[in-house]
Amino acid sequence: MIILFVVLPLVVAGLLPLAGKASKRLLPDLLANATLLFLVAYAAVAGRALIADGPVLQQTTWLGEALGIRLVLDGFSLFMLVVVALVGLAASLFSIDYMEHYGAKGNFYALYLVMIAGMNGLVLASDLFAVYVFLEVAAVASYALVAYGLGRDELEAAFKYLMLSVVASAFLVGGIAVVYGMTGGLDFAAVAMALKELNAGPALAVASALFLLGFGLKAALIPFHAWLPDAHPSAPAPISAVLSGLLIKVSGVYALTRVFLNVFGLTPALSTVLLWLGAVSAVAAAFLALGQKDIKRMLAYSSISQVGYVVLAIGVGTPLGIAGGLFHLFNHALAKGLLFLTSGSVQRATGTRDLDAMGGLAKRMPVTAATNLVGALSIAGVPPLNGFWSKLIIIVALVQAGHPVFAAVAVLASVLTLWYYLLMQRKAFFGRLNETWAAVREAPFWMTASTVLLALLCVGIGILFASTVTTWVRPAADVLADGIHAVAGSWGF
Amino acid sequence: MILQTALLAVLVALSVLAIALKDLLRSAIALALASLVLGIVFFRMGAPYAGVFEISVVAGLITVLFILTIALTKSGDEVRESKLANIVFPVVFVAFLAIDALVMKRLMGKVPALARGGEAGTFGEVLWKGRTLDLVGQIAVILAGVFAVLALFRQRDKHE
Amino acid sequence: MSNTWYLYLFFAAALVFAGLLGLLAKRNLIKLLIAIEIVGKGVSLLLLSTGLAKAHILTAQALVVTYIVIEVSLVATALALIINIRRQTGGLDIRSLTRLKG
Amino acid sequence: MTPKMLLLPVLLPAVLAVALLLLPRALRLVRDALAVAGAGVLLYYGFLFFSVKDLRYAVPWLGMGIDFDLRLYHFSSFILLALAGFLFLIAVYATVKMKDAPRGREFMAYVFLTAAFANGAALANNFVPLVFFWEGLLVTLYGMIAIGGRPTSGRTAVKALLIAGFCDFSLILGVGLLWSVAGTATMSEIAVEPTGLAAAAFVLMMIGAAGKAGAMPFHTWIPDAAVDAPVTFMAFLPAAFEKLLGIYLLARVSLDFFKLRPGGAMSVLLMIVGAATIVLAVLMALVQKDLKRLLSYHAVSQVGYMILGIGTAVPVGIAGGVFHMINHAMYKSGLFLSAGSVEHRAGTTELKKLGGLRRDMPLTALGFVVCALAISGVWPLNGFVSKEMVFHGALETGYTVFAVAAWIGAIFTFASFLKAGHSVFFGERTTDVPEVKESPAAIVLPILVLAALCVLFGVYNKLPLDRLITPVVAPHAEAGAHLDFTGHALDLFNVVALISVGCLVLAFLIHRHGFLKGGRKAYLASEPFHGLPGIRQAYDLAEKRVFDPYEQGVKALQGLSLALYKAVDRPIDFVFEKAVTAAGEKFTGILKKAHNGHYANYLAWCLAGLVILAGAIGLLAK
Amino acid sequence: MNVETTVLLTVLLPILGSLAVPLAALAGRRARSAWAILVSGATAVLPLTLLPFALEGGEQVIRKTLTLGFDAVIVVDPLSVFMASVSSFIGFLIVVYSLGYIRREENQSEYYLMVLLFIGAMMGLVFSGNLVFLYLFWEIIAIACWRLIGFYRAPDHVRKADKAFLLTFFGAVVMLFGFIQIYGVTNTFDITAMRGTVAPGSAVLLILFGLFSKSATVPLHTWLPDAGVAPTTVTALLHAAVLVKIGVYAFARLFLYAFRLPDGWQQALPVIVMVSSLVAAGAAAVENDLKRILAYSTVSQIGYIFLGFSAMNAAGVSGSLLFILMHGLAKAGLFLCAGIVIHAVHTKDIREMGGLIRTMPVTAAAFLVCAFSVIGIPPFGGFFSKFLVVLGTVQAGRPWVAALALFTAVLTMYYLFKVFSMVFLGQAKRPAPEGTKSMVCVVAALAVFSLAAGLLVAFPMKLTNIATTQMSWWLR
């Protein structure tokens, strides 16, 4: 019953406004977190068993009649489901305390769950248009969530985000239409097989570019990134965490890789383009992050940079590169989620996001500082944390595939990453306590609990990287490395 | 086909008007008219449901939303549009139309496509057998929209 | 692909381009949204005409209907945002929305 | 006598040093007794070892051919004996002289430590122990000067350390080179031709040895130390121990390790160093106004004779050099000890303030006079004998110029000692110094012993020459060559001896001329010479330490350091600290400017990106 | 206990122990101190129990297969045992010294945590036989250093900590890049498996870049003097004992144990390191900040270690290994003496000190002894190491480089005695009392060790000789 991944959050979302009427805080908190906990358990525990014998293809039947709901769960989608559920759970735990002041918790969780449902749907969808639909589901929810604070900046950011991504989705639909026109189908399997038969040529190049715009904007690859540094910092912290940790990965990286690797097949041309996009994003965004004074804006640029890293790795196209990219996606989701959450703790405690105004907060907020440090070092690729292993695999893959220059770029990006994270550490946590914050208190229980959870995951995966890679990353990478065969051969309904 | 082409030309003209007109209300009405024309085009393409949707929802509902918004935001200064753009962009648009026409002429028949058999059945069958997931998506997106609007118009307790 | 498809494609492209020009040139938020609508019209025209060309008009119809529903949702959200922005800034000029930069 | 006994000359003084350092101040008598007794035991063993002559103690130490290898043979046993003798005399002398010195306890500990290292260095038969003991002397050298208690003591100590350290590091490099040329570190097995790398090794080791002996230009710390360090130290270290060791090593280097040929390049080099040292140092000595400084320059000057002698590479010259070494150690110690005795009572060693002390301190005066005559090479004292041998050697090589230099040295040596002796012990009493008594026995006795030895070694030169010197030279003389240095040692009636006597007469005339010219003031006797045009300027510059390689060297080091710091270190730091940061910020600034917040701008990027990507994919696909 | 257990304990005990420091802190300050002493003491003892194994020339490789070729490999051989013993022992002394030194500071839990983590990571690095794990521990050390350098939290300090971290991180990733190139050639990260192969020249360049950055060799050295803002204990730990030595150790592990250094590098490296040594000595002679002088001195001395290794003969390699021990003892002693002085007079500027020998004789004597050892004057330990390094260089046919090395030694003598004279001799400008007992005891102990290591040099030499024979397959 993998449709539960979509339906359950939706149903709970529908119920939440009612629940919110009954109880303003407790019930929404309980319902939302229970849902996500269930999703975590379902994905992490049952998921492995489900796909033990290859991908699960499920067509929902209702009243004995087959419906047009065809969901596919394979290694890659399961991997993404786990990521979504994990980070989603952490963010929703964080929201218990954090969203107190925003009011209308029921409404918040409803939007939140719709977004989760959208992402899950996208991951499980098996045709191009459904991907678009669920991408929009998550997007619409995210627009509202970005603007949830209703402040001036939030609105500005949400509006620009909306206006840019609507254009991109329009082009995406255009791309889908072109592919549909060429192949006559929308199913991944059908499209993949048809494209194999068809020597598409320039038309496919245009379609690819349209898809790249559509997904690339969601993934915030340079030059489609401009909305992200506005939108992610403006959102409430748990939403920032989910946007940076999940949304850009699911509706950006996942969709992109699924389409390009499994459906279109990674041609050398596409590979080169992805390498360049990834490299440019990784470096330029790292430089941009370096110049930020706003802690969350810095993190946002860092997300662009790291997604660039992921795309760079996937662009290599070798099994090792894909594995590295996916592992990095996973690690970045955890670490960036963690960082945004801690930035939320700091913002909540001090009321500011300006790094220059902070200072020495480690003294007053030791747990937040420690978890933030773990996240920062993890993303910067400092061992023994998880981010190190993924970056290592990526660089190894780049060198092995004969791209030493891109590997050097990756190394450079890594150094830049550490540079700005050290800047952040220095200005916010490390250093002498700014007297203004002498009375600041550590974040409340659920906030620290969720950051500690993510930090422990970062450390734990760093230490147990081997089993993580074999259990979760390799099956996902295998699907992608199979190229169109993974879809074309076995996904017939 | 000529009628269809003419309708499409009208559609484009109305759309350009909707953008170019200074007065917002008129723009909205031009947009509604454009939707109406598009609906007719859909009808003529053999897609009555799409046509109905286009006319009722886009020409109707969305236009109402637009007008409501325009009314709600009407007080205060007018937004001064760029004069330069008003001169340059029509020129660019005309140039694009020319290029567009040339490209389409050269492209004609060049886009490779697999010949596939057509589909059978009714719209309902296709919808239920083929695109049910889209319906789930529609429900989700409507939920999202509703919650979004609710969230955006909620009474703030207090925002620090 | 039938030749009519290219005709539709021509007009779809014209609509999209008109919308894009509007997005680039206009400053009024509502105007921008109208421009987005125009882009959407172009895309839905393309979608349906593709279905027509492939003799999949029923599926295409289903897609267009979904597309329209999504559009409504988007427009509602966008308009809600615009009203909020109007409340906050007192104007509708996109150029005043440049506080977030760098 | 077991081989293990060889450890005794090293371990015993070391243990004594620690004991002396640890004994509390209250037990001064015990300390002195211990020191004298220890030194006595060492002296006894010195004789014992001298009688045994052949002993070797070798155990594996650090691998790689580095053994802890001590070898006793005639040369080292002779040095060992001499060292023990001096140690004993100094120990006795110091019981009184260092009694009230503020840090006498440390001083005695250093003395014994020095003895331990020196004995070790003399015995070492492997380069690593040699360098170990040799360089270990740096520690005591630094320590003994640093505790001098004067404001400039620390500075002088550093100076001595740096100069000696430089020489020792040269020695290390030379040892390394020689080791890799010869393929072994066992000293008794090495004999190579001084060519190529080996020549470099020779020069470097020579610097090490000559530097220890205090030859030019590595001498400049000695006059400074004469002022800043306890006078006992001067008699002990620069005058005796270091000369013995330095010349010992120089002899080993030029006789054993390298096959020096008379007239060869290395030989000439040595002779040049020797001659230059003789002349330049004695000229500096001539004009000194302080007894200790004057003596210290002579300590340098006399080294020149030894180096010159060894550098001749002919048997008589070598024998003369080695003999001069032991002679010099005796009379120079005697002289310094006399100076110490004067200082002990009169409280000063400035020539100007002293005068006519022969009546108050007759024994000291006697000792001083004998030693002064010996150093000046007056017949029939030991200095005469050894100098004659050096002159002969120098002439034998055919380079007459070096003999001439040596004679010039002899002239000024005598002249300056005439001046010194005259000023201190003869002439009128000055008012600067009150009535004084003779120094106590413990001070006078060592002086007299040394003076007596000077006479003994001169008159009965057969004893040292046959028993000490000939065995050293014998293995290096051509087979069957007749080695008899004693036969005409005191022969006055040959050309060489006559010239030497002539030199002494000339020196007397110079002194008399100066004495009369200076208004019958002995301490001004050198002024006429000092005042010669050109000479005065040179002296002035020398006084300003312009010729001091240490001063110039330190200036060069400072300059080099500053240059490296300013030209290399700071620019590198600038790159990391400023340049990289600035470049990063610049680039960031440009990128940030591009993100100006305008929606149309961002949209344009997206559209441009779309077009570029479509083009790129299309082009790449072809 | 067998070798495997001992090694695992040596690595895991301090790492896990470090994480337990905050828990111990909950039980009070004394409990924390006791815990730190206990853990570091045990860590110092554990490698010593491996000495008999090492002295027999034993070598044991323990492998555990993980994913993607990143296998955990542990190498126990004389080299690693030697390095582990030296590092952990000095680390232990420094922890003891810390008890007195930082007893009034804030963030002590973090301090002990990081110090123990540092020691543990050092142990891990020393025993790792896999390039990736080598890098991993390498970076953990960098993290610990970063926190420790910024310990006092002043803005400037934290900036310098960042500088150190960034520079060494940059070097390290470049080195990692080199590792990956090697992986490209050998298809393994296992060092023991690549013994006897030839490393590609570009990889050598990249790896050396990393080593130089960590070992603070010109031109990547400037972070080290700046890191002097850390507590003195840390600078001692950083400079003397451990941190800068890990670059040297990695050099030995990679280019002596595993590969043979390419010929061109054998020619170039001595010159590079000696220029580095000279530049640093020059800078030390110019600086007036006591700790910066000592830091530059460290940079300068590191050059000798590289020099000895690059000689690629028994004397040079063995001398360099010995150098690690001797320099560790003596430089730690110097830094800790400097710590006592700075603590007492509240300035780091040597121009404002003077005459301290009267009030702090033990410290002065210890400083003098350690200075002698660092310069390389017998009977102190530093003599043998420097002598052997120079000897090795001469034997390798590079007398000019050896001459440069000795010239640098003269310069070293010059600035160290300049410091000694200015700080301890002359007029007393700021009279100050001797430090606390634990501090003075530690510096005295280090001085005594320096002396003992010289007098009893045969014992450490035995181990270094065995280590040299063990790893230099290219000599056999």
Residue B47's domain is classified under what CATH number?
1.20.120.1200
Chain B residues closer than 8 Å to A71 by CB: 133
> In A, which residues are within 8 Å of C14 by CB distance?
none
CA distance D564 to chain C (A): 42
The CA–CA distances, whole Å, from A151 to A243, C80, C90, E231 equal 19, 14, 13, 46
Chain A's closest residue to E124, CA to CA, is A384
Q: Is the separation of the CB atoms in D416 and D348 below 8 Å?
A: no
CB contact under 8 A, B45 and C48: yes
In this model, does residue D434 exceed pLDDT 50?
yes
Asked whether residue A157 carries a pLDDT value surpassing 90, the answer given is yes
- Look at residue E67 and tell me whether its pLDDT is greater than 80: no
CATH of domain C3-96: 1.10.287.3510
A423-456 per-position pLDDT tens digit: 999 988 888 888 888 888 888 999 999 999 999 9
Contact call for C62 and B130, based on CB within 8 A: yes
For residue D620, with 0-12 CB atoms within 10 Å meaning exposed, 13-18 middle and 19 or more buried, which class applies?
middle
| Chain E residues near residue A399 by CB distance under 8 angstroms | 177, 180-181, 183-184
Q: Is E277 on the interface with D (CB under 8 A)?
A: no
> In 3D, which of D77, D86, D109 has the Cα closest to residue D239?
D86
CB within 8 Å: A418 and E166: yes
Q: How far apart are CA E216 and CA E227, in angstroms?
A: 11
D419 and D386 housed in the same domain: yes
Which residues fall within 8 angstroms of residue E414, CB to CB, at 6 or more apart?
D162, D554, D557, E285
The C-alpha atoms of residue A325 and residue A318 are separated, in whole angstroms, by: 10
**Mean pLDDT, all residues of chain D:** 86
CB contact, 8 Å: C29 with chain A? yes
- 3-state secondary structure at position D484: coil
Contact A210, A178 (CB under 8 A): yes
pLDDT band at A490 (very low <50, low <70, confident <90, very high): low
> How many domains are there within chain D?
2
Nearest CA in chain C to A291: C102
CA atoms of D88 and D453, how far apart (whole Å): 15
* Spatial CB neighbours of B123, under 8 Å, sequence gap ≥ 6: B49, C58, C61, C62
**Minimal Cβ distance to A431: which of E67, E146, E155:** E155
Chain D contact for E216, CB < 8 A? no
Chain E residue whose CA is closest to D550: E414
Q: In the predicted model, what is the mean pLDDT of residues D593-608? A: 92
How close D342 comes to chain E (CA, Å)?
29
Same domain? For D520 and D556 the reply is no
Q: Do residues B39 and B98 both lie within one domain?
A: yes
Q: How confident is the model at residue E472 (pLDDT cuts 50, 70, 90)?
A: confident
3-state secondary structure of D337: helix
Q: Residue window 175-214, chain A: list those with CB within 8 Å of chain D.
A: 201-202, 204-206, 208-210, 212-213
- How does pLDDT run across A265-320, given as a tens digit for each residue? 888 999 999 999 999 999 999 999 999 999 999 999 999 999 999 999 999 989 99
Structure tokens at E282: 């020059």
Give yes or no: residues D334 and D387 share one domain. Answer: yes
Core vs surface per residue D282-301: b (16+ CB within 10 A) or e: bbbbbbbebbbbbbbbbbbb
* Entry field: residues in chain E: 476
Note whether D479 and D593 are same-domain residues: no
In a domain, D166, yes or no: no
What was the pLDDT predicted at D352? 83
Q: Which of E285, E277, E317 is nearest to E301 (CA)?
A: E277
Q: Nearest-5° angle of CA B102, CA B104, CA B107? A: 110
Indicate whether E141 belongs to any domain.
no
Helix (H) or strand (E) run with residue E60 in it: strand E60-64
Q: D423 and D524 share a domain? A: yes
- A396-420 pLDDT tens trace: 999 989 899 999 999 999 999 999 9
- So what's the pLDDT on residue B160? 38
Which residues numbered 89-128 in D keep a CB inside 8 Å of some CB on E?
A: 128
Smallest CA-to-CA distance from D486 within D459, D508, D449 is with D459
- Domain count along chain A: 1
Q: Which of D597, D600, D603 sits opposite C99 (nearest CB)?
A: D597
Give residue D513's pLDDT: 86
| Closest Cβ–Cβ partner in B42, B76, B126 for C48 | B42
Most trustworthy range by pLDDT among A111-115, D339-343, D540-544, E357-361 = A111-115
Inspect the interface and report whether the beta carbons of B38 and C45 lie closer than 8 Å: yes
Over range E98-104, report the average pLDDT. 84
Q: What is the pLDDT of residues D529-555, one digit of tens each?
A: 887 888 888 888 887 887 888 888 889
Is residue E412 over pLDDT 50? yes
- Which of D538, D565, D589 delimits the end of a domain? D538
Residues of C in contact with B119 (CB under 8 A): 55-56, 58-59
Claim to verify: residue B65 and residue B7 sit in the same structural domain: yes
Query: Is B52 among the domain residues?
Result: yes
pLDDT at residue B77, as a whole number? 59
Same-domain pairing of D358 and D477: yes
Tell me if A208 and D617 make a contact (CB, 8 A cut-off).
yes
Residue bearing tokens 């992805």 = A274
C89, A129: Cβ pair inside 8 Å? Answer: no
Chains E and C touch (3+ CB pairs under 8 A): no
Note the pLDDT tens digit of each residue in A66-103. Answer: 787 888 888 899 999 999 999 999 999 999 999 888 87
Identify the closest residue of chain B to C39 by CA–CA distance.
B15
Residue D512 pLDDT exceeds 90: no
pLDDT at D488 over 80: no
Domain that holds residue D572: 551-621
Q: Judging by DSSP bridges, how do beta strands D55-63 and E60-64 pair with one another?
A: unpaired
Contact flag C43-A144 (C-beta cutoff 8 Å): no
Rounded Cα gap, residues E458 and D129, in angstroms: 12
**Closest Cα partner for A283 from A263, A257, A311?**
A311
CB contact under 8 A, D620 and A273: yes
Cβ-Cβ contacts under 8 Å, B65 against chain C: 75-76, 79
Confidence of residue D429 (pLDDT cuts 50, 70, 90): confident
Output the six-digit token pair for B135.
């319906």
Number of other CB atoms surrounding residue A301 within 10 Å: 30
Average pLDDT on E406-428 reads: 90
Q: Which residues of B touch C14 (CB under 8 A)?
A: 12, 96-97, 100
What digits encode the pLDDT tens for the residues D203-237?
Answer: 999 899 888 888 888 888 888 888 888 888 887 88
pLDDT tens string E184-203: 888 888 888 888 887 888 88
Task: Say yes or no: D505 and D412 in one domain.
Answer: yes
- Shortest Cα distance, chain E CAs vs residue D141, angstroms: 12
Reported as a single tens digit per residue, the pLDDT across C70-85 is 999 999 999 999 999 9
By residue range, what is the domain housing residue E325? Answer: 261-471
Whole-number pLDDT of residue D392:
86
Residues 526-565 of D with CB under 8 A from E: 554, 557-558, 560-565
Compute the average pLDDT of residues D168-185: 89
Helix axes E399-424, E263-286, angle to 10 degrees: 20
Last residue of a domain, one of D504, D538, D572: D538
Q: How would residue C40 be classed by pLDDT, with cut points 50, 70 and 90?
A: very high
Pairwise pLDDT comparison (A32 vs D231), residue with the higher score? A32
How far apart are the CA of D40 and the nearest CA of chain E, in angstroms? Answer: 25
Is the Cβ–Cβ distance between E424 and E318 less than 8 Å? Answer: no
Element (H, E) at E422: helix E399-424
pLDDT digits (tens, 9 = 90+) for D265-295: 888 888 998 999 888 888 888 888 888 888 8
Is pLDDT of E240 > 70? no
E303 falls within a domain: yes
Domain count, chain E: 1
For the ranges A453-462, E195-204, E271-280, the lowest mean pLDDT is seen at E195-204
Task: Kindly list the residues from chain D whose CB atom is less than 8 angstroms away from the CB atom of residue C100.
Answer: 597
Cα distance between residue E353 and residue D291, in whole Å: 36
Distance CA D290, CA E28 (A): 68
Question: Mind giving me the DSSP string for D391-452?
Answer: HHHHHHHT-HHHHHHHHHHHHHHHHHHHHHHHHHHSSPPPSSS----PPPHHHHHHHHHHHH
Question: Which of C21, C24, C26, C31 should be substituted to probe chain D, the one whose Cβ sees the most D Cβ atoms within 10 Å?
Answer: C24
Please report whether residue B113 resides in a domain. Answer: no
Q: Is the same domain home to D534 and D558?
A: no
Q: Does C20 touch chain A (CB under 8 A)?
A: yes
DSSP H helical ranges for D98-214:
104-123, 127-146, 153-182, 197-213
Supply the range of the domain harboring residue A196: 4-488
Compute the average pLDDT of residues D399-424: 88
pLDDT tens, A302-313?
999 999 999 999
Burial of A167 (0-12, 13-18, 19+ CB in 10 A): buried
Quick one: CA torsion of E188, E191, E196, E201, rounded to 10 degrees? 70
Whether residues D444 and D509 share a domain: the answer is yes
d(CA A407, CA E178): 11
Under 8 Å between Cβ of A123 and A81: yes
Q: Which candidate from C32, C99, C102 shows the least CB-CB separation from D595?
A: C102
The structural domain count of chain B equals 2
Q: Is residue D311 in some structural domain?
A: yes
- Chain E window 326-385: which residues touch D at a Cβ cutoff of 8 Å? 372, 375, 377-379, 383-384
Average pLDDT (E446-464) is 91
The domain boundary, picked from D538, D566, D586, lies at D538
pTM of structure: 0.90
The answer as to whether D340 is a domain residue is yes
Q: Is B34 in Cβ contact with C38 (below 8 Å)?
A: yes
The CA distance from A369 to the nearest CA of chain D, in Å, is: 26
For residue D218, what are its two tokens?
């590595």
* Averaged confidence pLDDT in chain A: 90
pLDDT in the model for residue E367 = 93
Could you give the CA distance from residue C16 to residue B93 in angstroms, rounded to a whole number? 11
Q: Which domain holds residue B24?
A: 1-74+86-107
Chains that touch D (3 or more CB pairs under 8 A): A, C, E
Tell whether D566 and D520 lie within a shared domain.
no
Residues D584, A227: C-beta atoms closer than 8 Å: no
D613 lies within 8 A of chain A by CB: yes
Q: Are residues B67 and B135 in the same domain?
A: no
**pLDDT tier, D479 (very low <50, low <70, confident <90, very high otherwise):** low
Say which of A160, A174, A180 has its CB closest to residue C43: A174
Chains B and E touch (3+ CB pairs under 8 A): no
Name the band, by pLDDT with cuts 50, 70 and 90, for residue B159. Answer: very low
